[in-house]
Amino acid sequence: MAVTLVKLSCPDRVGLLAALTGFIAQHGGNLLEVSQFTDTRSSWFFVRMAIQTETLDMPLPHFREAFAPVAAELDAQWTIRAAESRMKVVVLVSKLGHCLADLLWRWRAGELSCDIPLIISNHDALREMAERESIAWKHVPISASGTTEAFAGLAELLRELQPDLVVLARYMRILPAELCREFAGKIMNIHHSFLPSFAGANAYARAYDRGVKLIGATCHYATAELDAGPIIDQEVIRVEHFHTPEDLVRLGRDCERLALARSVRWHLDERILIHGNRAIVFRD
């Protein structure tokens, strides 16, 4: 069964959901799923709908064209996409391979329905992972003296590929603010702490020194402000008094893998809507 996904956010008003579902019904669409939320503090409306595509009385491109005036009247941000279409995902990684390995396993198993045309790294240590999966690998080294040129080359690669999502799978470099702005809402980072605590580097060491009883990982969209973008998901695990700093790293990596995998899947399934610095997530 083919499925069409509709994702929309707009200023709240009475009758919004009725207007949207009525439009879909007018064109024969059978709704399979509707997830809706209204933020009463900001008076903003969010919805994700899944439609049985073959029930629509027109091809999907024509349905999208017919919907455009409705969305414009609502002053809405929206997307309509066939669920069967595969998003293009580019992964950035450095030397730590646990998140990349987990994503590739889930991708190969069919859990993450997307295409991965390229993996980019500032080191060459994990090239074999890409080669095993027949995925193109690009080594873009970044030195202290050549940061600007390296990131310019990285930006050109992304502009050429136009990915739907860029995953920073423990990519241990800070992206330039202009790159974050250019690909806003499309760059996803996994940070090794329960943000906003312990932003920046050496999070597990600082958590150990602080004597925390919980550690975690945070997946968020990257913005110009370091580790401060809209939070998509967080995963935590308990810390015992006998755990060493190395134990925290080991436990934290499990959190990183889970939070990142869930967030990527939700992005691919059109389950995330960004509003300001918040991410509204319709979990599956």
The token duo for 1 is: 């069964």
- The whole-angstrom separation of Cα 208 and Cα 168 is 25
**Do 139 and 167 meet the contact criterion of CB atoms below 8 Å apart?**
no
Beta bridge partners of 7: 48, 79
Give the residue numbers marked as catalytic. Answer: 227
pLDDT of residue 196: 67
pTM for the complete prediction?
A: 0.94
Q: pLDDT (tens digit, 0 to 9) for every residue of the chain, 284 residues total?
A: 999 999 999 999 999 999 999 999 999 999 999 999 999 999 999 999 999 999 999 999 999 999 999 999 999 999 999 999 999 999 999 999 999 999 999 999 999 999 999 999 999 999 999 999 999 999 999 886 668 889 999 999 999 999 999 999 999 999 999 999 999 999 999 998 766 677 777 888 888 888 888 888 999 999 998 888 999 999 999 999 999 989 988 999 999 999 999 999 999 999 999 999 999 999 99
Contacts of 257 (CB under 8 A, 6+ apart): 98, 99, 102
pLDDT of residue 44: 98
pLDDT of residue 68: 97
pLDDT of residue 145: 65
**Do 240 and 212 meet the contact criterion of CB atoms below 8 Å apart?**
no
Q: Which domains does the chain show, CATH number per domain?
A: 3-82 (3.30.70.260), 87-281 (3.40.50.170)
Contacts of 82 (CB under 8 A, 6+ apart): 2, 3, 4, 5, 53, 60
- CA-based diameter of the chain, in Å? 64
